[in-house]
């Protein structure tokens, strides 16, 4: 089917999070503050990691990349959501919707792959410390980051092609605050069962497979810690606990949204808010509040900035 030739819809209308305008103004203030915190917190981590040579290690290299992805991921949906809170008509062009869908899946898949790579990094560091520098050199880390972006791009292209090839001849109302595959394909004027199965097979299996890989790696890590000293176990568990928390906060909503056929659950919007806005604002706090090295580097960065301004 040549879906592009049958497309009549030129724009989509979002229902948003609520129809209560007064509540929308309150949500605008809340999410505006959260988005600014996402930008400030993640930029601070990126600058800190880049400016302190002691943090030029694989773990912090990946942490800096995670902060970059979090900024990109939240920026795909948050600015449009904020502007819609102040608008009576929440619309987006067809091409704009497809672009938002593409970059949403690009960033989300890149983050899932990066969390998996970070788990592998911790596995090698804890279970094979003598081989760590050879297995996880900065060159290898750069190749891994490049590979995860290639994989995320392939995934996102597949999702976008599956969506854009369908015919859209009305209706055009999306029961969400952004464009994602499940709510968009519900508007196609054709049977989307096969497309839905392919989407679940693509997004759902990626999320579930990475989640299982992460669990297996951390089970192996926990088993290997039995013979370590109390201090060694404490440091390893502290790092792993932060990563496990981030993994649960991000992969949990993804598995909920993409491992079942498209539905109309009201909880979908709440879950979508959680993994597009809430998780990116929590990540900097999770990693900095539990990490003495990052906090010390931030203090030194602050002192250098104060000194330079004072001079």
Question: Angle 208-240-51 (CA atoms, 0-180°, nearest 5)?
Answer: 110
CA 185 from chain centre, in angstroms, equals 22
Query: Does residue 234 sit within a domain?
Result: yes
**HSE of 77, CA atoms in CB hemisphere, 13 A:** 29
φ, ψ for residue 37, nearest 5 deg: -65, -35
Residue 2 located in a structural domain:
no
- Paired tokens of 279: 């998780």
Identify whether 8 is part of a domain: no
Per-residue confidence (pLDDT) for residue 100, from 0 to 100:
96
Do 179 and 12 meet the contact criterion of CB atoms below 8 Å apart? yes
Sheet with strand 91-93: strands edge to edge:
91-93, 11-14, 173-174
Q: Does residue 3 sit within a domain?
A: no
Note down the domain range covering 242: 13-163+170-310
Tell me the longest C-alpha to C-alpha distance in the chain: 68
Residue 72: name the closest of 293, 289, 283, 287 by CA. Answer: 283
Number of domains in the chain: 1
Measured CA to CA in angstroms, residue 63 lies from 27, 48, 103 at distances of 29, 11, 21
Which DSSP state fits 54?
Answer: G
The answer to whether the CB of 180 falls within 8 A of the CB of 253 is no
Per the domain annotation, does 109 fall within a domain?
A: yes
pLDDT for 286 equals: 81
- Please indicate, yes or no, if residue 148 is contained in any of the structural domains: yes
What pTM did the predictor assign? 0.87
Q: What tokens were used for 42?
A: 């993640």
**For residue 251, which of 283, 207, 199 has the smallest C-alpha distance?**
207
- The tokens describing 1, both together, are 């089917």
Question: Phi then psi for 263, rounded to 5 degrees?
Answer: -130, -165
**Nearest Cα to Cα of residue 73 among 111, 41, 99:** 111
CATH number, domain with residue 190: 1.20.1070.10
Give the chain's residues under pLDDT 50. 1-5, 7
Q: Where are the alpha helices (DSSP H) in 165-204?
A: 181-185, 193-199
Between CA 141 and CA 62 the distance in angstroms is 8
**Does residue 1 fall inside a structural domain?**
no
Residue 268 lies in a domain: yes
Question: Between the CA of residue 154 and those of 70, 109, 310, what are the distances in Å?
Answer: 20, 10, 49
Which pLDDT does position 52 carry in this prediction? 85
Distance, in Å, from the CA atom of 193 to the CA atom of 191, rounded to the nearest integer, reads 6
């Amino acid at each position: 089917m040549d879906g592009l030739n049958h497309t009549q819809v030129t724009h989509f209308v979002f229902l948003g999070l609520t129809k209560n305008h007064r509540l929308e103004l309150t949500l605008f203030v809340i999410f505006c503050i959260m988005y600014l915190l996402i930008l400030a917190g993640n930029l601070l981590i990126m600058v800190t990691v880049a400016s302190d040579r002691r943090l030029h290690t694989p773990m912090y290299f990946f942490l800096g990349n995670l902060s970059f992805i979090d900024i990109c991921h939240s920026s795909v949906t948050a600015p449009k959501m904020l502007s819609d809170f102040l608008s009576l008509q929440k619309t987006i062009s067809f091409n704009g919707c497809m672009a938002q869908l593409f970059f949403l899946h690009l960033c989300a898949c890149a983050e899932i792959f990066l969390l998996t790579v970070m788990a592998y990094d911790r596995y090698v560091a804890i279970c094979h410390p003598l081989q760590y520098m050879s297995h996880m050199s900065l060159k290898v880390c750069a190749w891994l980051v490049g590979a995860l972006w290639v994989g995320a791009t392939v995934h996102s292209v597949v999702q976008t092609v599956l969506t854009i090839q369908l015919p859209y001849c009305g209706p055009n109302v999306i029961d969400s605050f952004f464009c994602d595959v499940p709510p968009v394909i519900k508007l196609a004027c054709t049977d989307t069962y096969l497309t839905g199965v392919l989407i679940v097979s693509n997004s759902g299996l990626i999320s579930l497979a990475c989640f299982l890989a992460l669990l297996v790696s951390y089970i192996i890590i926990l088993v290997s810690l039995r013979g370590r000293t109390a201090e060694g176990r404490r440091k390893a568990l502290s790092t792993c606990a932060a990563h496990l928390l981030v993994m649960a906060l991000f992969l949990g909503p993804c598995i909920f949204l993409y491992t079942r056929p498209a539905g109309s659950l009201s909880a979908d919007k709440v879950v979508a808010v959680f993994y597009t806005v809430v998780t990116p604002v929590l990540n900097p706090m999770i990693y900095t509040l539990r990490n003495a090295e990052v906090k010390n580097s931030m203090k030194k960065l602050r002192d250098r900035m104060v000194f330079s301004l004072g001079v």
